[in-house]
Amino acid sequence: MADKLQERKPKFETLSGIEVKRAYTPDDAAGDYADLLGFPGEYPFTRGVQPTMYRGRFWTMRQYAGYASADESNARYKYLLAQGQTGLSVAFDLPTQTGYDSDATMAEGEVGKVGVAISSLEDMERLFDGIPLAQVSTSMTINSTASVLLAMYIAVAKKQGAETKQLRGTVQNDILKEYLARGTYIFPPAPSMRLATDIIEHCARALPNWNPISISGYHIREAGSSAVQEVAFTFANAIEYVNATLARGLTIDEFASQLSFFFVAQMDFLEEVAKFRAARRLWARLVKEKFGAQKAASMMLRFHTQTAGVSLTAQQPQNNIVRTAIEALAAVLGGTQSLHTNSFDEAIALPTEESVQIALRTQQIIAHESGVTNTIDPLAGSYYIENLTNEIERRAVEYLAKIEKLGGGLKAIEAGFTPREIQESSWKFQREVEAKERVVVGVNDFVTTAQYSGKRLRVDPRVRDEQAARLQSLRARRDNVRVENTLAALRAQARGTANLMPAILACVESYATLGEICDTLRQEFGEYKGAGMF
């Protein structure tokens, strides 16, 4: 045992590299932001965006799901709703994310693998068959093709008899983080920003209850950033979107309340709680002081949280149940509005119904049995929590100042500043794991040779053939003259400066496919190959 202890070289610092003292005093909780603690529901919202928080209602329990065909994903959604899920969250496959129909050459081998395959309005109709869109809140994790998928969702809702003002949900639509951390972009940055801003503008005018963007720190963190970088780089991107929308002639108070955010909940429990509190306070200050917002709703940071995918291990995967529970509790204590809990088997395969149920039950146990929802921000006043909250905000402000000097979030990405910062943070963490300065149970310590023998979900390879047959049938049955006319109108609009959402909606309603719409825009905008990005 002595040898075992000697092998470990613990680091007394957070995952972000913030040094952790042996103990904290009231002096540590003071600082530049100490007078900004306030009350829940009051500026700067450090303690929560609502005065009642979870005493009023719980966060939305929104399990991210989608695989294979629209029919199979529809069945999974109905299963989750029956298990007590309170909101839908759609995962799309890579061809859908990158603008290819399921029968395209580029789609081969990827149809239905990491999400549901959606190539046409018919697919979207099948995806939400029997699910009244006027009554549910739906989140769609989609970026490059967000305008097309949102148009499909609107079209399905209209066919169900719903009014657009009734629709509630979110489309991710955060293209900048694709260039920074994820890579599922299609077009160069300028037209991509145009499309993202088109959605924000359209929703501000036509879909008042819809979040037109979910500005994501999750993928930045999954790529290896620290908690501080997650907050700073997310807000740098958010400032870009705000400036682009203001340039359309909207005022900050016309759209800021519809902006939403997406953060990770990682394994450093107390740092994560402090991160959410710091982010909420910093965003309120930015929107008020930098952009001059007058409405309290404009200053509220509303965010969805997902537990950390990178913390899941293929070794001893049942350990992931504990990791997810810790991360989910951090999100709740940090005041999230919506939460997805990862399934324990996701490091091995797509989750089974059994593992998804355990993930959902984790949220339900926290909500109904843990007692942490009885009072708001129960960790407030902890010397350590307040010190961490202040320190994360201070460091994030320093990063934002550096990014502003570089010309903003997009310029910082193009110059390679933010990608390099993420890479260095990722390398630092990996080095610590390899040196056993950070123990990952079952990976670099407490290792066993036993292999996981549980169920695994496997996508039937016939999904692509079935999708191709459906597309062939659709193209034979639809009014192809109408399709060509709507695509021609979209092409003409793309050459100008008009908002493209109405033209894309017309294409979708004519049953033009996702690939046809994206190919039309590719012809006008070109494709981005990533040259010179890093």
Give the pair of three-digit tokens for residue 443.
């990976």
- List, in sequence order, every residue forming a beta bridge with 137; answer none if it has no partner: 168
Contacts of 349 (CB under 8 A, 6+ apart): 456, 457, 458
Cβ proximity of 178 and 185 under 8 Å: yes
Is the four-CA dihedral 64, 68, 74, 75 of positive or negative sign?
negative
What are the CA-CA distances from residue 110 to residues 99, 100, 185, 230, 402 (Å)?
Answer: 13, 11, 16, 29, 39
**CA–CA gap between residue 113 and residue 92 (Å, rounded):** 9
Closest to 275 (Cα-Cα) out of 254, 261, 255, 259: 261
| Residue 161 DSSP one-character state | T
**CA–CA gap between residue 204 and residue 39 (Å, rounded):** 29
pLDDT in tens, the chain (534 residues): 444 444 555 678 999 899 999 999 888 887 776 667 789 999 999 999 999 999 999 999 998 889 999 999 999 999 999 999 989 999 999 999 999 999 999 999 999 999 999 999 999 999 999 999 999 999 999 999 999 999 999 999 999 999 999 999 999 999 999 999 989 999 999 999 999 999 999 999 999 999 999 999 999 999 999 999 999 999 999 999 999 999 999 999 999 999 999 999 999 999 999 999 999 999 999 999 999 999 999 999 999 999 999 999 999 999 999 999 999 999 999 999 999 999 999 999 989 999 999 999 999 999 999 999 999 999 999 999 999 999 999 999 999 999 999 999 999 999 999 999 999 999 999 999 999 999 999 999 999 988 888 888 887 788 999 999 999 999 999 999 999 999 999 999 999 999 999 999 999 999 999 999 999 999 999 999 874 443
What are the CA-CA distances from residue 251 to residues 287, 368, 502 (Å)?
Answer: 12, 41, 22
> For 440-459, b where at least 16 C-beta lie within 10 A, e where not — what string?
bebebeeeeeeebeeeebeb
**CA–CA gap between residue 102 and residue 117 (Å, rounded):** 7
**CA–CA gap between residue 11 and residue 178 (Å, rounded):** 32
- What local confidence, expressed as pLDDT, does residue 2 receive? 42
What are the CA-CA distances from residue 322 to residues 319, 341, 433 (Å)?
Answer: 6, 11, 19
Dmax (CA) of the chain: 78
What are the CA-CA distances from residue 154 to residues 127, 144, 165, 210 (Å)?
Answer: 13, 18, 10, 11
Whole-angstrom Cα Rg for the chain: 23
**CA–CA gap between residue 206 and residue 427 (Å, rounded):** 45
**CA–CA gap between residue 481 and residue 492 (Å, rounded):** 17
Residue with tokens 């047959």: 469
Closest to 487 (Cα-Cα) out of 505, 475, 463: 505
**CA–CA gap between residue 233 and residue 406 (Å, rounded):** 13
Among left, alpha and beta (phi > 0; psi -120 to 50; other), residue 66 is: left
Reported in sequence order, the residue ranges of 298-349 that DSSP labels E, i.e. its strands, are 303-307, 338-340
- What local confidence, expressed as pLDDT, does residue 532 receive? 43
CATH homologous superfamily of domain 2-61+172-434? Methylmalonyl-CoA mutase (3.20.20.240)
- List, in sequence order, every residue forming a beta bridge with 36; answer none if it has no partner: none
Give the pair of three-digit tokens for residue 534.
């890093």
**CA–CA gap between residue 57 and residue 53 (Å, rounded):** 7
CA angle 255, 168, 55 (to 5 degrees): 95
CA angle 148, 464, 150 (to 5 degrees): 15
- What local confidence, expressed as pLDDT, does residue 456 receive? 86
pTM of the model: 0.94
Is the four-CA dihedral 355, 358, 363, 364 of positive or negative sign?
positive
Cβ proximity of 305 and 338 under 8 Å: yes
| Residue 382 DSSP one-character state | -
